[in-house]
C-alpha cells in the first residue's frame, strides 16, 4: 500500500498528517467545514468556495465517483478538499470517474486519512482559519508559513474574480432521472442574472420556470442591465466578502429604483442588504451544510436548507422598508429579507439546493409570481 | 403551535410480548413516549402485556395495565379510565391493529376517544396494499406491479401477470409474517395458503419481484404544521429479497449521489403527506434499479418502528420522544434537540460523521427444522449495531458484537460450491461467505453477479480479506505502530489479528499497549461536530482526538447483554436499565456499555454516559482504561458479560457484587456439587462425561430417563431428554462434540416433578426472597418456556418454607451480593436443586412487577455497598393476588418446526396476567399470549401413556364446561372407561379422515397433545401440532398445561382489569 503523504497545517500551527488523494503540490485557503453527507461534486464546483479549502465531515467521500452532470460550474472552485476516507471503489450507475481522478484532472490538492472530526472541532471553536495542504513533497515549516500568509477572507472581493468575462445566455432546465438536463422550450420572462459566481442550478431552476436568462459579469453597470429590458433581475451567490463589491452595490441601488422584481441568493442577498443601507459582518465559522433549519416567518413553516456562507446581513442595521422574512433556527441569524415597498427579496441559504434539500424552491416561484404581478 | 390543552389523559398501547418482528424497540419507544407526555403534564395510561418492559414500571405512567392487548380488554380499560386520546403509534403493529379494532368496533366513538399520532384512515391507507398503491400512483411514485387478491383463483391470475419469482405479501401482518418469494407454482400455492391464514383480512398482495435491486429506508418525522425532516437514510447491504429486519443495513445511505438522494427525500415527504401521517415518525422503504436508478416505493409504516429505533440510536435523535410530543400538538421548531443541550431545535436533519452498521442475529440453531434461507418474512430475533469512522471499522465491530463467536470476518469454508450457494441464496451468514468468496479467488464481479450486493460494499470486504492475506506468515512483533494502527483503523479486533498471526488476543493487546496504540472515543452529537455537546454518547475509533472527557466522580459501569437472542433478551436489558437508574439516584455516575440498538439501556439518557460498543474483552478493557470505574456490574446482562467476568478481573477490572469465583462455583459442576453436599441439599443424580463411552457407562449408574446437555449452555442449547441407551448414543454422536474441555452433563430426569423458580437478593449479610414461582409445565420443559405462577398455586406452605431455607443457605454459601436465581424440582415430598445462577434471571422483571419490589434496583444498590437494611427491604413480599407469566413462541414464523416444548428454550417473549385467583391470572396470560380460548366446540385429546390417567380428569372437566371430546384410540379408551362421552378419531397414520383433516376443516377448537420425548412419537404427531398452529387453534403440549386451561376456562369471560399501581397499593396495605 503505497500512498503519497500529505499534510494539512492550520494557521494556528495544528498539523495533520494524512495521504494525498488529489493533485501533487500545495494549496492555501480558508479552511471551512461542510456537514452535507451527499453532494461533494456540487460542493467542489460551487464558485462560492473560491479560496476555501473544504473539509467534509462525513468520512467516506467519493462513494459515487464523479460525473459530468453533477457540477455547479465549469470547473472546481474549492481551493482544496479534506476528507477522512476516500473509498476503495466508487459505485453509482452515473459515475464516470473516481473522485481521485477527478481531483487530479482538475488539479485540486486534497488530503485524506486525517481526523476530520478533530479538525471540525478546532474550526468550530476557533473559527474558520487559513490552512495549507501540501501533498507529495512535504515541508511543514513552509506549509505553516503559507497558511499564515493567506490573510483573511474579510475584505476580499472575489465575486469579480470568479464572474464570467462576458454576457451569455442560459437555457438548460433542471435535471431529471433518466433524462438528464433538458432544454427550455418557450420562455415567458426575460431575467438578467448577475454572475457573482453563480451556481448553475440557480439558472436551471429559473429556466425550468420559464425564464429566458441573460447572465452578465459581476461588474456590469445597471444601465447595461436595464438596457436588456429584463422582467426581473437576479443576484447570484458567490465567494468572498460582499462589502468591497461597491460596483455591485451601486448597480443594485440603481436597479431597485426601477421597481423591477429582484431576487438575490447568498452573496446576492448580502449585496442587497448592503444596497438598501444595511451592514454585513463575518461569521465565526459560517454556515456550511445541508441540514440547516430556516423558518419562514410569514407561514411559520420550517425548511431544511442548504447553506454556504461566511458573512451575514446584520438585522439591526436594516432600514424600515426592509423586513426579515426568514431566520436560521440554529443561531437566529437573518436568512431572508424583503423590501416592503417593491417586489424585491433575497435568501441567505441556497434554495437551489444542489446539494441539499429542495424545501425552499418555492422562492423561485415567488420570483416568477412577482414578474407575473408586474404584468 | 403549542401543545393541546383539550387533552388531559392519553392511553398508550404497547407492543406486547417480544416476538420476531417486534422486539424491545417498542419498549424503547413506548418508554420515551411515556416520559415525553408526562413531562408535558398529561396523565398517561398504559397498557402492555409484557412485564419485562421498562415502560410497565409503575413510575413510568400514571396508570399501568399489564393486561392482554386486544380491543375487548382495552375497551375495559377505556371504560375504567376514560382517556381523552389514544396514542397507537408507539407499540408497533400490535398497537396499530388494536387501535383499528377499537375504531371498527365503535369503542372510540362510544367513549369519545381520539386517535392521535395517526388517524384510522392513515393507518388503513398505509397498511392496505391496494389503497397504498393507489395513493402512490396519485403522487406519481411507482410501486412494483401488484394485485390485491382475496382468493387463490385471483392469486393465480395475478401471478400469471407478474411472473416468477413472485412476492407474496399478506396484509396487516408484522415482520412479513406468512409472506415469501415463490420461484415456482408449487411454492406459490404453499405461500399463498400460508399468507391467507396469516392475514387478518384474508388478503394478499401478489407482487412483481424486484430481487437484486438496491434497498433503502428513510426515517421521516412530520409535524402538524407540515414541517418534515429526514432523520436518517439507511442503505441495505443485502439487496431486495431479504426482509429489511433480516438485512445487514448501513447508515447513512452510501451509494446515492445528492440528486438521487434528494429524489428519495422528496418522495418520502410526499408519501407521508399523501398517506396522511399528520404528526410523528414514519419509515418509508424504497428500491432502486442499480443500472438505471429507477426508484419504486416498497412500503411505509405510519408509526415508529425497529428502523426508527435504529435511526434514533444511529443519529442521537430521539424519534419516539419527539413523535409523542408532536402528537399532542407541538411543532418541530418548538422542541429542542436535547443532545446539543437545547442549543439547536428539533427541526433539523441530523448529520452524522461516522458509519453505522446493523447486523441481525438469528436463532436457527434452536429450530433445526426451520428453513434458514432469508426471504421477505423476518426470521431474526435480535440485532447488533456498531459505529465506526469507516464502514470497515463499523462492520468488523458489529460482527464481533454479534456474540456468535466471531472476531471479525472469520472464515467458514473454502468449498466453492457452498460459497456460491450461500452468497446467492442468502442465509444468516452470507456476509462471511462473501469474505470466503474472495479468499477462494472469486472476483468482485463474480460475487456481484451472484449476490447483487453493491460493489462498494464488496470492495470493502475484499480489502479486509486482502489485509488478512498479507498477514499470513507474519509475526506480531514485526508489526510496527504504523502498520498496527492501519489495521486497527480498519476495525480488526485483537482477537482476529491474533488468529491471523498465530498468537492469542492477549499478546496482540500487550503489543498494542506497549506501542501506546489505543482507541479514542468520539461523540454522537446529531450534528457532525458543528455544535458542542455535553451528552456523553460515545463510540470508539482509532483516531487522533479523544472526546470522552471522563470525570473524576465515583462511577459504576454496567455491562449490557448485547443483541437479543432466545434465552437472553429484554429481561436482562430491563435489569441493566434498573441498575443504571438506581445507582444514578444513589449518586454514582453510571456508565452503560451495550451494542443492542433496540434497547432502553442504549438510550443516551438512561445512564450518565453511554458507550455504544461490542461487549468483548478488548472493547470493555479499553473503556475501563479511559473511565477507571469504581465498580463494574457483570451479573445483569446475561451470559454476555458473565463470560467476560474472569478475564476482566484478571486484568484488574473491579467487578462488584458476587465474585466471579463464586459465579464459577455455581456454574462448575463439581464445585457446585460439593457445596450442595456440604449444605445437605439434594440434586438429581448426575455425572459428567468426557467421552461417549463414559456417557454410556455413567448413564447406567444413574438410570434413565436423563437430561443431557453440554457443560456451558444458555437457554438450554442442545439440551435433550433421553429415555434409553440408543437415544443417548445418538445424542453423543449427533448433537454435541464432547471433549475434556467441554464435557457433557448427565442428570437423572425427574418424572412428573413440579419445577419452581426462586429469585432472591442479598447484600452479603441478609438474603431476601424476591419471589417463589411455581411452574405450570412439569420439570423438563425449559424454565423460560414454562408458564409460572407467583405466588405458587399448589405448593404446601411447608414446602415453600423449605425452599426459602435452602435458597438462603445457598446464597450465603456463595457469598451472593446482588441477585440470585434458583431452580428447584419437587418430586413427591423431595426438593431437588436443579441449578443456581448468582445473577439476574429472566424472571426478575416479572417478580418486580408482581410484588412491587424493584429487585434489580435493590440488588444494584447492594452491589454498590448499600445494605438491604439501609434500603428498608428486609422482607419477602407475597402478593394477595396471583400473577402468571406465560411464554410466547415464534413457531408461526418457521414453517415445519414442531411446537412441542422441551428442555431447549424456544420462546422469544413473555406476557403476564393478573387475577384474584390463579385461574383468572392464567386465562389472562393465555389471552395476552395470543391464545383465544374457545368457549365451546370440540377439544381434541391425544396423550402419552403416562398422562392417560390425567387426561381422564381433563376430559371430564372439559365436558363439564360444555365441550365435546375427541380423542385418538389410546387416549379415548381411558376416557370411555370412565363413562365420559368421547368421539374416536384416527391418528394420521391410521387412515383418513384423521385428526389433521378435522383440524384443517376447522372442526377442532382446542388441542391437548402430549408426547413421549422420543423421536418417532414426536414425528408421528408433528402434523397435529403444526396444523393446529396454522389454523390458530390453541394447543397445549403438556398435561399440566391442559389442567391449567381447565381451571382457567371456568373464568374465560369474567375477568377484570387491574392497574399495577392498584395492585402494589394492595401489597403495601397488606
The CATH number covering residue A291 comes to: 3.40.50.880
**Reduced to 3 DSSP states, what percent helix, strand and coil does chain A have, rounded to the nearest 5?**
25, 35, 40
- Residue A48 shares a structural domain with residue A119: yes
- Residue A166 shares a structural domain with residue A129: no
pLDDT score, position B172 = 74
Is there a contact between A120 and B454 if contact means CB atoms under 8 Å apart? no
Q: In chain A, what is the straight-line distance between the N-terminal and C-terminal CA atoms, in Å?
A: 66
DSSP state of B314: H
- Residue A202 shares a structural domain with residue A121: no
Does residue A179 carry a catalytic annotation?
Answer: no
Of B343-352, B685-694, B1007-1016, highest mean pLDDT: B343-352
Give the contacts of A218 (CB within 8 A, at least 6 positions apart): A159, A160, A163, A194, A195, A196, A238, A245, A247, A248
Per-residue pLDDT of B403-420, as tens digits, reads 999 999 999 999 999 999
Nearest Cβ partner of A38 from B257, B294, B352? B257
pLDDT score, position B130 = 83
DSSP state of A184: P
Q: Starting from the edge strand earliest in sequence, which strands make up the sheet with A344-347, in order?
A: A168-170, A211-217, A189-195, A232-235, A262-265, A344-347, A334-339, A322-328, A280-296, A302-313
Q: Which residues of A touch B459 (CB under 8 A)?
A: 87-89, 91
Cell of residue B419, nine digits? 460459497
Q: Which residues of B touch A91 (CB under 8 A)?
A: 255, 454-456, 459
pLDDT score, position A292 = 96
In a domain, A154, yes or no: no
- Residue A138 shares a structural domain with residue A164: no
- Residue A331 shares a structural domain with residue A219: yes
In a domain, A264, yes or no: yes
- Residue A26 shares a structural domain with residue A76: yes
In sequence order, the β-bridge partners of residue B591 are B557, B609
Is there a contact between A124 and B532 if contact means CB atoms under 8 Å apart? yes
Long-range pairs for B34-37: beta carbons < 8 A, 24 or more residues apart: B34/B60, B34/B61, B35/B60, B35/B321, B36/B320, B36/B321, B36/B322, B36/B324, B36/B325, B37/B10, B37/B12, B37/B87, B37/B324, B37/B325, B37/B328
Final residue before a domain boundary, out of A107, A122, A148 = A148
CA distance B285 to B234: 9
pLDDT of B674 over the 60 cut: yes
Is there a contact between B456 and A93 if contact means CB atoms under 8 Å apart? no
Q: At what angle do helices B855-863 and B570-585 cross, to 10 degrees?
A: 60
Q: Contact A192/A233 with Cβ under 8 angstroms?
A: yes
Residue of B nearest to A42 (CA): B258
Nearest Cβ partner of B456 from A1, A63, A358? A63
Note down pLDDT in tens along chain A; length 375 residues.
Answer: 458 999 999 999 999 999 999 999 999 999 999 999 999 999 999 999 999 999 999 999 999 999 999 999 999 999 999 999 999 999 999 999 999 999 999 999 999 999 999 999 999 999 999 999 999 999 999 999 999 999 998 999 999 999 999 999 999 999 999 999 998 888 999 999 999 999 999 999 999 999 999 999 999 999 999 999 999 999 999 999 999 999 999 999 999 999 999 999 999 999 999 999 999 999 998 999 999 999 999 999 999 999 999 999 999 999 999 999 999 999 999 999 999 999 999 999 999 999 999 999 999 999 999 999 986
Is there a contact between B353 and A59 if contact means CB atoms under 8 Å apart? yes
CA distance B166 to B804: 59
- Residue A139 shares a structural domain with residue A250: no
Is there a contact between A70 and B258 if contact means CB atoms under 8 Å apart? yes
SS3 assignment, position B725: helix
Is there a contact between A300 and B257 if contact means CB atoms under 8 Å apart? no
Of B1037, B790, B794, B774, give the one whose Cα is nearest residue B913. Answer: B790
pLDDT score, position A1 = 43
Cell of residue A89, nine digits? 471503489
Phi, psi (deg, nearest 5) at residue B28: -60, -50
pLDDT of B387 over the 70 cut: yes
**Residue A199 structural domain:** 159-374
C-alpha dihedral sign at B986, B988, B990, B993: positive
Determine the distance in angstroms separating the CA of B896 from the nearest CA of chain A, rounded to an integer: 41
Nearest Cβ partner of A94 from B257, B295, B463? B257
Does residue A132 carry a catalytic annotation?
Answer: no
pLDDT band, residue B91 (cuts 50/70/90): very high
Per-residue pLDDT of B28-49, as tens digits, reads 999 999 999 999 999 999 999 9
Is there a contact between B257 and A64 if contact means CB atoms under 8 Å apart? yes
Q: Which residues of B touch A39 (CB under 8 A)?
A: 257-258
Binding residue ranges of B: 129, 169, 175-176, 208, 210, 215, 241-243, 285, 299, 301, 709, 748, 750, 755, 780-783, 823, 835, 837
Final residue before a domain boundary, out of A128, A148, A168 = A148
pLDDT score, position B933 = 83
Residue of B nearest to A299 (CA): B225
Cell of residue B1035, nine digits? 394447543
Residue of A nearest to B490 (CA): A85
SS3 assignment, position A228: coil
Rounded to a whole number of angstroms, the CA Rg of chain B reads 28
What would the 3-class secondary structure string for B329-340 be?
CCCHHHCECHHH
pLDDT of B1052 over the 70 cut: no
Is there a contact between A58 and B226 if contact means CB atoms under 8 Å apart? no
Q: Enumerate domains of chain B plus CATH numbers.
A: 9-116 (3.40.50.20), 145-208 (3.30.1490.20), 211-243+252-350 (3.30.470.20), 358-517 (1.10.1030.10), 521-656 (3.40.50.20), 657-684+750-916 (3.30.470.20), 685-748 (3.30.1490.20), 917-1049 (3.40.50.1380)
Nearest Cβ partner of B348 from A114, A175, A291? A291
Tell me the CATH number at A125: 3.50.30.20
pLDDT of B499 over the 90 cut: yes
- Residue A109 shares a structural domain with residue A234: no
Marked catalytic residue, from A243, A266, A269, A309:
A266
- Residue A136 shares a structural domain with residue A170: no
Does residue A292 carry a catalytic annotation?
Answer: no
- Residue A104 shares a structural domain with residue A194: no
In a domain, A325, yes or no: yes
Q: Which run of H or of E encompasses B383?
A: strand B382-388
Give the contacts of B569 (CB within 8 A, at least 6 positions apart): B18, B23, B24, B52, B381, B382, B561, B908, B909
Q: Which run of H or of E encompasses B396?
A: helix B391-401
Q: Contact A194/A47 with Cβ under 8 angstroms?
A: no
CA distance A146 to A138: 13
pLDDT score, position B1030 = 80
In sequence order, the β-bridge partners of residue B387 are B356
CA distance B283 to B271: 10
Kindly report the pTM of this predicted structure. 0.95
Nearest Cβ partner of B390 from A59, A67, A302? A59
Q: Which run of H or of E encompasses B626?
A: helix B617-627
- Spacing of C-alpha B1047 from chain mean position: 30
Phi, psi (deg, nearest 5) at residue B397: -65, -40
Q: Contact B839/B822 with Cβ under 8 angstroms?
A: no
Q: What is the mean pLDDT of chain B?
A: 93
> If you count residue pairs, one on A and one on B, with CB atoms under 8 Å apart, how many are there?
177
Give the contacts of B714 (CB within 8 A, at least 6 positions apart): B567, B568, B638, B639
Per-residue pLDDT of B942-987, as tens digits, reads 999 989 999 999 999 999 999 999 999 999 999 999 999 999 999 9
Instruction: Compute the average pLDDT of residues B538-561.
Output: 97
Q: Which residues of A touch B257 (CB under 8 A)?
A: 38-39, 41, 64, 67, 70, 92, 94
Per-residue pLDDT of B989-1027, as tens digits, reads 898 899 999 998 889 999 999 988 777 888 889 999 988
CA distances to B672, B698, B887 from B703, rounded to whole Å, are 21, 8, 31
pLDDT of B462 over the 80 cut: yes
- Residue A24 shares a structural domain with residue A168: no
Provide the 10 A C-beta neighbour count for residue B157: 13
Which of B259, B342, B524 should we substitute to test contact with A (largest number of A Cβ atoms within 10 Å)?
Answer: B259
Residue of B nearest to A38 (CA): B258
CA distance A293 to B531: 14
pLDDT of B208 over the 80 cut: yes
Determine the distance in angstroms separating the CA of B531 from the nearest CA of chain A, rounded to an integer: 7
Give the contacts of B84 (CB within 8 A, at least 6 positions apart): B6, B7, B8, B9, B10, B113, B114
CA distance B820 to B633: 14
- Counting residues of chain B whose pLDDT is more than 90, the rounded percentage is 80
Q: Contact B312/B352 with Cβ under 8 angstroms?
A: no
- Counting residues of chain B whose pLDDT is more than 70, the rounded percentage is 98
Q: Contact A12/A135 with Cβ under 8 angstroms?
A: no
Final residue before a domain boundary, out of A114, A148, A182 = A148
CA distance B264 to B282: 14
> Predicted ipTM?
0.97
pLDDT score, position A48 = 95
Determine the distance in angstroms separating the CA of A328 from the nearest CA of chain B, rounded to an integer: 10
Q: Which residues of B touch A85 (CB under 8 A)?
A: 389-390
pLDDT of B237 over the 90 cut: yes
Dihedral in degrees, nearest 10, Cα atoms A23, A350, A115, B524: -160
Per-residue pLDDT of B240-285, as tens digits, reads 999 999 999 999 999 999 999 999 999 999 999 999 998 999 999 9
In a domain, A303, yes or no: yes
Determine the distance in angstroms separating the CA of B318 from the nearest CA of chain A, rounded to an integer: 17
In a domain, A109, yes or no: yes
Of B537, B547, B352, B315, give the one whose Cα is nearest residue A125. Answer: B547
Please give the tally of structural domains in chain A.
2
CA distances to B125, B568, B732, B906 from B718, rounded to whole Å, are 45, 16, 11, 11
- Spacing of C-alpha B524 from chain mean position: 25
pLDDT of B14 over the 60 cut: yes
Tracing cell 453511554 back to the chain, one arrives at: B610
Residue of A nearest to B261 (CA): A38
- Residue A314 shares a structural domain with residue A180: yes
pLDDT score, position B1 = 62
In a domain, A49, yes or no: yes
DSSP labels, B986-1037 = B-GGG-SSBHHHHHHTT--SEEEE---S-HHHHHHHHHHHHHHHHTT--EE-
pLDDT of B739 over the 70 cut: no
In a domain, A153, yes or no: no
Amino acid at each position: 500500500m503505497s500512498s503519497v503523504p500529505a499534510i494539512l497545517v492550520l494557521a494556528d500551527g495544528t498539523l495533520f498528517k494524512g495521504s494525498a488523494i488529489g493533485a501533487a503540490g500545495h494549496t492555501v485557503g480558508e479552511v471551512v467545514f461542510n456537514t452535507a453527507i451527499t453532494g461533494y461534486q456540487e460542493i467542489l464546483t460551487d464558485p462560492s468556495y473560491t479560496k476555501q479549502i473544504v473539509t467534509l465531515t462525513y468520512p467516506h467521500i467519493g462513494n459515487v465517483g464523479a460525473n459530468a452532470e453533477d457540477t455547479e460550474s465549469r470547473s472546481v472552485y474549492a481551493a482544496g478538499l479534506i476528507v477522512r476516507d476516500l473509498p476503495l471503489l466508487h459505485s453509482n450507475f452515473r459515475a464516470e470517474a473516481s473522485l481521485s481522478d477527478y481531483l487530479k484532472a482538475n488539479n485540486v490538492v486534497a488530503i485524506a486519512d486525517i481526523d476530520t472530526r478533530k479538525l471540525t472541532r478546532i474550526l468550530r471553536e476557533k473559527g474558520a482559519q487559513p490552512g495549507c495542504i501540501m501533498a507529495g513533497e512535504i515541508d511543514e515549516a513552509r506549509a505553516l508559513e503559507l497558511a499564515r500568509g493567506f490573510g483573511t477572507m474579510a475584505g476580499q472581493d472575489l465575486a469579480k474574480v470568479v464572474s464570467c468575462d462576458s454576457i451569455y445566455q442560459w437555457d438548460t432546465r433542471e435535471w431529471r432521472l433518466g433524462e438528464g438536463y433538458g432544454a427550455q422550450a418557450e420562455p415567458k420572462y426575460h431575467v438578467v442574472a448577475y454572475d457573482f459566481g453563480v451556481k448553475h442550478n440557480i439558472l436551471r431552476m429559473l429556466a425550468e420556470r420559464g425564464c429566458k436568462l441573460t447572465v452578465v459579469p459581476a461588474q456590469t453597470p445597471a444601465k447595461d442591465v436595464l438596457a436588456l429590458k429584463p422582467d426581473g433581475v437576479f443576484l447570484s451567490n458567490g465567494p468572498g466578502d460582499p462589502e468591497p463589491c461597491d460596483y455591485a452595490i451601486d448597480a443594485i441601488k440603481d436597479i431597485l429604483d426601477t421597481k423591477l422584481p429582484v431576487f438575490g441568493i447568498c452573496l446576492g442577498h448580502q449585496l442587497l442588504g448592503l444596497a438598501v443601507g444595511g451592514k454585513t459582518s463575518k461569521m465565526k465559522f459560517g454556515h456550511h451544510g445541508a441540514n440547516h433549519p430556516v423558518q419562514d416567518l410569514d407561514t411559520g413553516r420550517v425548511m431544511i436548507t442548504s447553506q454556504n456562507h461566511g458573512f451575514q446581513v446584520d438585522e439591526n442595521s436594516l432600514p424600515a422598508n426592509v423586513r426579515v422574512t426568514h431566520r436560521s433556527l440554529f443561531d437566529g441569524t437573518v436568512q431572508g429579507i424583503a423590501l416592503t415597498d417593491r417586489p424585491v427579496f433575497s435568501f441567505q441559504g441556497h434554495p437551489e439546493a444542489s446539494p441539499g434539500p429542495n424545501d425552499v424552491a418555492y422562492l423561485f416561484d415567488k420570483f416568477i409570481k412577482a414578474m407575473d404581478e408586474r404584468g | 403551535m403549542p401543545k393541546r390543552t383539550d387533552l388531559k389523559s392519553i392511553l398508550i398501547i404497547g407492543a406486547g410480548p417480544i416476538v420476531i418482528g417486534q422486539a424491545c424497540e417498542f419498549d424503547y419507544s413506548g418508554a420515551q413516549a411515556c416520559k415525553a407526555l408526562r413531562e408535558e403534564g398529561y396523565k398517561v395510561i398504559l397498557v402492555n402485556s409484557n412485564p419485562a418492559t421498562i415502560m410497565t414500571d409503575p413510575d413510568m405512567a400514571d396508570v399501568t395495565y399489564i393486561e392482554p392487548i386486544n380491543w375487548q380488554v382495552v375497551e375495559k380499560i377505556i371504560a375504567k379510565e376514560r382517556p381523552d386520546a389514544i396514542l397507537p403509534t408507539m407499540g408497533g403493529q400490535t398497537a396499530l391493529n388494536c387501535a383499528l379494532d377499537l375504531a371498527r368496533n365503535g369503542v372510540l366513538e362510544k367513549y369519545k376517544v381520539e386517535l392521535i399520532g395517526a388517524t384510522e384512515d392513515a393507518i388503513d391507507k398505509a397498511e392496505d396494499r391496494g389503497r397504498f398503491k393507489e395513493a402512490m400512483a396519485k403522487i406519481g411514485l411507482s410501486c412494483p406491479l401488484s394485485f390485491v387478491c382475496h382468493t387463490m383463483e385471483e392469486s393465480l391470475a395475478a401471478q400469471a401477470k407478474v411472473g416468477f419469482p413472485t412476492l407474496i405479501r399478506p396484509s396487516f401482518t408484522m415482520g412479513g409474517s406468512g409472506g415469501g418469494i415463490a420461484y415456482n407454482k408449487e411454492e406459490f400455492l404453499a405461500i399463498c395458503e400460508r399468507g391467507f391464514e396469516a392475514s387478518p383480512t384474508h388478503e394478499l398482495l401478489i407482487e412483481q419481484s424486484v430481487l437484486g435491486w438496491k434497498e433503502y429506508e428513510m426515517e421521516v418525522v412530520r409535524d402538524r404544521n407540515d414541517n418534515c425532516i429526514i432523520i436518517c437514510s439507511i442503505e441495505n447491504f443485502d439487496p431486495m429479497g431479504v426482509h429489511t429486519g433480516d438485512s445487514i443495513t448501513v447508515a447513512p445511505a452510501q451509494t446515492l449521489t445528492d440528486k438521487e438522494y434528494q429524489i428519495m427525500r422528496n418522495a418520502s415527504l410526499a408519501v407521508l403527506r399523501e398517506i396522511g401521517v399528520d404528526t410523528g415518525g414514519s419509515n418509508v422503504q424504497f428500491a432502486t434499479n442499480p443500472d438505471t436508478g429507477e426508484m419504486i416505493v416498497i412500503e411505509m409504516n405510519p408509526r415508529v418502528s425497529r428502523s426508527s429505533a435504529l435511526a434514533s440510536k444511529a443519529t442521537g435523535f430521539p424519534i419516539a420522544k419527539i413523535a409523542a410530543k408532536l402528537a399532542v400538538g407541538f411543532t418541530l421548531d418548538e422542541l429542542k434537540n436535547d443532545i446539543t443541550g437545547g442549543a439547536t431545535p428539533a427541526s433539523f436533519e441530523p448529520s452524522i460523521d461516522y458509519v453505522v452498521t446493523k447486523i441481525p442475529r438469528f436463532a436457527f440453531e434452536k429450530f433445526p427444522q426451520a428453513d434458514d434461507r432469508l426471504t421477505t418474512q423476518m426470521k431474526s430475533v435480535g440485532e447488533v449495531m456498531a459505529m465506526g469512522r469507516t464502514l470497515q471499522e463499523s462492520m468488523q465491530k458489529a460482527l464481533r458484537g454479534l456474540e456468535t463467536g466471531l472476531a471479525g470476518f472469520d472464515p467458514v469454508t473454502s468449498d466453492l460450491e457452498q460459497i456460491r450457494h450461500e452468497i446467492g441464496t442468502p442465509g444468516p451468514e452470507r456476509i462471511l461467505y462473501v469474505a470466503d468468496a474472495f479468499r477462494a479467488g472469486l472476483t468482485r464481479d463474480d460475487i456481484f453477479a451472484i449476490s447483487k450486493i453493491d460493489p462498494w460494499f464488496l470492495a470493502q470486504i475484499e480489502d479486509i480479506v486482502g489485509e488478512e492475506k498479507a498477514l499470513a506468515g507474519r509475526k506480531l512483533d514485526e508489526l510496527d505502530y504504523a502498520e498496527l494502527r492501519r489495521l486497527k483503523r480498519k476495525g480488526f479486533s485483537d482477537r482476529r489479528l491474533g488468529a491471523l498471526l498465530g498468537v492469542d488476543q492477549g499478546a496482540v493487546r500487550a503489543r498494542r499497549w506497549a506501542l501506546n496504540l489505543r482507541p479514542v472515543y468520539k461523540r454522537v452529537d446529531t450534528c457532525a461536530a458543528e455544535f458542542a455537546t455535553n451528552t456523553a454518547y460515545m463510540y470508539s475509533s482509532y483516531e487522533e482526538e479523544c472526546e470522552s472527557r471522563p470525570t473524576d466522580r465515583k462511577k459504576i459501569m454496567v455491562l449490557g447483554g448485547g443483541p437479543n437472542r432466545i434465552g437472553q433478551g429484554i429481561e436482562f436489558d430491563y435489569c441493566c436499565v434498573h441498575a443504571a437508574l438506581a445507582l444514578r439516584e444513589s449518586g454514582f455516575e453510571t456508565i452503560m456499555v451495550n451494542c443492542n440498538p433496540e434497547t432502553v439501556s442504549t438510550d443516551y439518557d438512561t445512564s450518565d454516559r453511554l458507550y455504544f460498543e461490542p461487549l468483548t474483552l478488548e472493547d470493555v478493557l479499553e473503556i475501563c482504561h479511559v473511565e477507571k470505574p469504581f465498580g463494574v456490574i457483570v451479573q445483569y446482562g446475561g451470559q454476555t458479560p458473565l463470560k467476560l467476568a474472569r478475564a476482566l478481573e484478571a486484568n484488574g477490572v473491579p467487578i462488584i457484587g458476587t465474585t466471579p469465583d463464586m459465579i464459577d462455583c455455581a456454574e462448575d459442576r463439581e464445585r457446585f456439587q460439593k457445596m450442595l453436599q456440604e449444605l445437605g441439599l439434594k440434586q438429581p443424580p448426575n455425572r459428567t462425561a468426557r467421552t461417549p463411552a463414559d456417557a454410556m457407562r455413567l448413564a447406567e449408574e444413574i438410570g434413565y430417563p436423563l437430561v443431557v446437555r453440554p457443560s456451558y449452555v444458555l437457554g438450554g442449547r442442545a439440551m435433550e431428554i433421553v429415555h434409553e441407551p440408543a437415544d443417548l448414543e445418538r445424542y453423543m454422536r449427533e448433537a454435541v462434540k464432547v471433549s475434556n474441555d467441554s464435557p457433557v452433563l448427565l442428570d437423572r430426569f425427574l418424572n412428573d416433578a413440579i419445577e419452581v423458580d426462586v429469585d432472591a437478593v442479598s447484600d452479603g449479610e441478609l438474603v431476601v426472597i424476591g419471589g417463589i414461582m411455581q411452574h405450570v409445565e412439569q420439570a423438563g420443559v425449559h424454565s423460560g418456556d414454562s408458564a409460572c405462577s407467583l405466588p405458587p398455586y399448589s405448593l404446601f406452605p411447608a414446602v415453600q418454607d423449605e425452599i426459602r431455607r435452602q435458597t438462603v443457605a445457598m446464597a450465603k454459601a456463595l457469598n451472593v451480593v446482588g441477585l440470585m436465581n434458583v431452580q428447584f424440582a419437587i418430586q413427591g415430598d423431595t426438593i431437588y436443586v436443579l441449578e443456581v445462577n448468582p445473577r439476574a434471571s429472566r424472571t426478575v422483571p416479572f417478580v418486580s412487577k408482581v410484588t412491587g419490589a424493584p429487585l434489580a434496583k435493590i440488588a444494584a444498590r447492594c452491589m454498590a455497598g448499600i445494605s438491604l437494611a439501609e434500603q428498608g427491604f428486609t422482607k419477602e413480599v407475597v402478593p394477595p393476588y396471583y400473577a402468571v407469566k406465560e411464554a410466547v413462541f415464534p413457531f408461526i414464523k418457521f414453517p415445519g418446526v414442531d411446537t412441542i416444548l422441551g428442555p431447549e428454550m424456544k420462546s422469544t417473549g413473555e406476557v403476564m396476567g393478573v387475577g384474584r385467583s390463579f385461574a383468572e391470572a392464567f386465562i389472562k396470560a393465555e389471552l395476552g399470549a395470543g391464545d383465544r380460548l374457545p368457549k365451546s366446540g370440540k377439544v381434541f385429546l391425544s396423550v402419552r401413556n403416562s398422562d392417560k390417567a390425567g387426561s381422564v380428569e381433563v376430559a371430564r372437566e372439559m365436558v363439564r364446561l360444555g365441550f365435546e371430546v375427541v380423542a385418538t384410540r389410546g387416549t379415548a379408551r381411558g376416557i370411555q372407561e370412565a363413562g365420559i362421552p368421547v368421539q374416536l378419531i384416527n391418528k394420521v397414520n391410521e387412515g383418513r379422515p384423521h385428526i389433521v383433516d378435522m383440524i384443517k376443516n376447522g372442526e377442532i377448537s382446542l388441542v391437548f397433545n402430549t408426547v413421549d420425548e422420543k423421536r418417532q412419537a414426536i414425528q408421528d404427531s408433528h402434523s397435529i401440532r403444526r396444523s393446529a398452529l396454522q389454523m390458530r387453534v390453541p394447543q397445549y403440549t403438556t398435561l399440566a398445561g391442559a389442567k391449567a386451561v381447565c381451571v382457567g376456562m371456568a373464568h374465560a369471560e369474567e375477568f377484570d382489569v387491574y392497574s399495577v399501581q392498584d395492585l402494589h397499593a394492595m401489597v403495601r396495605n397488606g
